[in-house]
A and B are shown apart, each in its own frame.
Chain A
């Protein structure tokens, strides 16, 4: 019984420390609007990569980021209902020949290059008018809760790195869930 309690405490500590160590990405603003009968959102985030991640990027490892958005309908005394879910992925890599950083929107396929990593991260953190769904997908009379986060997808890292990712907090690059209210 004592062993089980200790294991549970250890798991709790790991979970708490994992949450506490999630550094590098901070969403500073999030907005949503209905344009041309479409729900689009814009997110502004500050992204700072630590040396470990930056070293991997400079050594040819492509980093994949995901902007995850959820539209929820709040309910009293019950868990919120998830109405919509959207995922927008980006790939950040370094082009050795040109000494530039390439940022590719995996949804649209468009790619841009930047002279410095900071420029690339600034653009990555400035998501403008990302299409979520048609307006008809949402009932008209409700107020919704939007929830968004931006994170590094560790599952896309090369296989040899994944066991290290589990135990190295440097790779836990993710923002907290940013929430705001959408009113029609």
Chain B
């Protein structure tokens, strides 16, 4: 409140000062004698006051414009109220100003009347005429006197005119004392105040004065020049404070051409009554002439004063309008700001209740509302935290989506399973998630298909490949038809079932191996022994032709039994594959050793190697991986129909992706490729395109690679042949590689 009081006090003081100075300025214009000296100061004060008000208004306008631009609460209401206030206050002031200006101009003009002006001019002219009559008389008298003096030839007494002007020259003053009785007598006779005889150069020859002023009034040079030219001078002059005098200067005729030309000057006082009247007329005429001259300027000054009053009034009214509008809209602005704050989530917003009127009641209700909302929100937050805690404790991933496919929540287990790290995915669309995290594309496709299909309840397995290898996810989704006012959505619960599937598969193959051992392998030994005993017992006793047949048949039986034993052993080995034994291994060297083995056995085949040089040693089970490379190189050689023309391309690379670093090993042959119908299940046991073999080679390869957390793919190359690609994760912790197994 204190700043507001200070502002109001300052503006009030400013208003009073402006009003006071305006009053004084108005008084100064009407009566310059009273405040005339202060007129400029008053005008400057008013201009400064006006500038101060204009500055205040400009600041208010700027603030309002800024508030309007940023759509501040209450700004539009303030503008509306301001417009009303300003219109209501300024419009009457402007109308009043217009009428006042009109009246003022007409009023000033009404002061001046042509008839008065003419009357004053006539009075002045009359005064001049009256004086002219007298002046002509004194001129005639003086001219007659001049002729008389010329005839009488008064004595000459040359005096220095310059010396006479110097009142300090006592010597000259003494020598000049008028003792010429004739001149005095003549002066008294014509009724002159002063009578002088001077040369045309201005040198005083003789003088007579009736007063006490010892300094004669020497005629100025222009008058002397005029007289010298033969024209007498007669003029009316105000001399000092003595009033009007008539100065007459005439030439003194002289027959002696050797003497300098002389001038007779006489000063005649104007009669006292005439002097007073003439002075009054002259004074009134001068005053009226001055007023007439100042009329336009006076109107301008009045107009300026009135305009200053107008501008000051408007400035005060506008500022008052600003102040009033802000005061009236302040509680409403506060309410609007509070509502906006609540809408933005600030439920602790409370507003000060300054009044007990309707607005105060509204503010109290608002405060009560925010208090209740804050309590309700606190309860919701508690419930939310409880649910979040529950979700975070789940081992399954829980993903909530809205109807638009935007991710709303994902619990910690879900983030861990999907290997999201610190990426913020809340609010993200599923398609955006697939773009940003490419390894989740299969997962997203699985979810999107069901969401687009509008399945209420669904379940599907999906696979993703993350830093730690391939993951099998069992996803279950359901639609969430919530309350009417609540947005519906979907919830997807997914589990990492990689270990479970692997365990199930291991158990299945173990069962197969056990059955094979029990059902097939066990009878093979009696069959083999029986065949050998037949051969041993009857071969020597039979005819050579029969013996040959028996030998061939028993040999076939033994060989086939051996083959079946090898097959069963291989299958048993697959099912009972021991745990991997990791050690730091240089994969390039390991592959090269395998290639050398086959290169020596197949010297005609061509092996082309393209190994990356920057591959570090990694922790793998070298013997198991050697078996992988053996199987793949062997398959590549066998894929070529003519081994002498076989071409095998082996390459290694280091691959960097957003999910981590990998090794890739590519083995490419130029054979006939893989039949397309076998591509989907080429890694399953007993799936083979070869006429010989157990059909377990690629299955074993896949199992070993998966036990290392990697992935192996087999595809036909565009230029012919098949390409096997192995991708092994490069992780710092070797145990992480084993986790998929």
Contacts and interface: CB of A to CB of B under 8 A. Distances in A.
B616 interface: no
A59 B286 CA distance: 7
Interface residues of A, number: 27
A161 B294 CA distance: 7
A133 interface: no
B611 to A, nearest CB: 70
Contacts of B37: 155
Q: Is the interface of A mostly helix, strand, loop or mixed?
A: mixed
Contacts, number: 89
B290 A59 contact: yes
Interface string A101-123: 01000000111011110010000
B124 A96 contact: yes
Contact of A59 (B237, B238, B292): B292
Interface string B26-44: 0011001000110110010
A119 B239 contact: no
A162 B294 CA distance: 11
Contacts of B289: 59-60, 96
A114 B281 CA distance: 21
Given A60-B289, A61-B293, A160 B298 contact: yes
B282 interface: yes
Interface in A140-154: none
Contacts of A109: 241
Contacts of B239: 111, 113
Contact of B304 (A60, A95, A100, A163): A163
A115 B282 contact: no
Contact of A159 (B222, B236, B287, B301): B301
Contacts of A13: none
Contacts of B301: 159-160, 163
B444 to A, nearest CB: 57
Residue of A55, A59, A160 most packed against chain B (CB within 10 A): A160
A96 B286 contact: yes
Interface in A79-115: 95-98, 100, 102, 109-111, 113-115
A158 B281 contact: no
A61 B287 CA distance: 9
A119 B222 contact: yes
B278 A97 contact: yes
A119 B297 contact: no
B675 interface: no
B278 A164 contact: no
Contact of A98 (B238, B285, B293): B238
Contact of A115 (B32, B235, B287): B235
B612 interface: no
Nearest to A59: B293
Given A96-B286, A97-B282, A60 B36 contact: no
A103 to B, nearest CB: 11
Given A115-B222, A159-B28, A102 B238 contact: yes
A163 B43 contact: yes
B275 to A, nearest CB: 10
Nearest to A36: B168
B40 A113 contact: no
Contacts of B300: 160, 163-164
B152 interface: no
A142 to B, nearest CB: 29
Contact of B293 (A56, A159, A164): A56
A159 B291 CA distance: 12
Given A60-B289, A159-B301, A162-B39, A95 B294 contact: no
Contacts of B278: 97
B290 A60 contact: yes
B470 interface: no
Contacts of A115: 220, 222-223, 235
A171 to B, nearest CB: 12
B21 to A, nearest CB: 14
Contacts of B450: none
A155 B286 CA distance: 21
13 contacts: A56-B293, A59-B292, A61-B293, A96-B289, A100-B238, A111-B240, A158-B294, A159-B36, A159-B301, A160-B297, A162-B43, A163-B43, A163-B301
5 closest residue pairs by CB, A with B: A59-B293, A60-B290, A97-B282, A160-B301, A160-B297
Given A98-B236, A98-B244, A163-B301, 8 more contacts: A60-B290, A100-B238, A113-B239, A115-B235, A158-B294, A161-B294, A162-B39, A162-B43
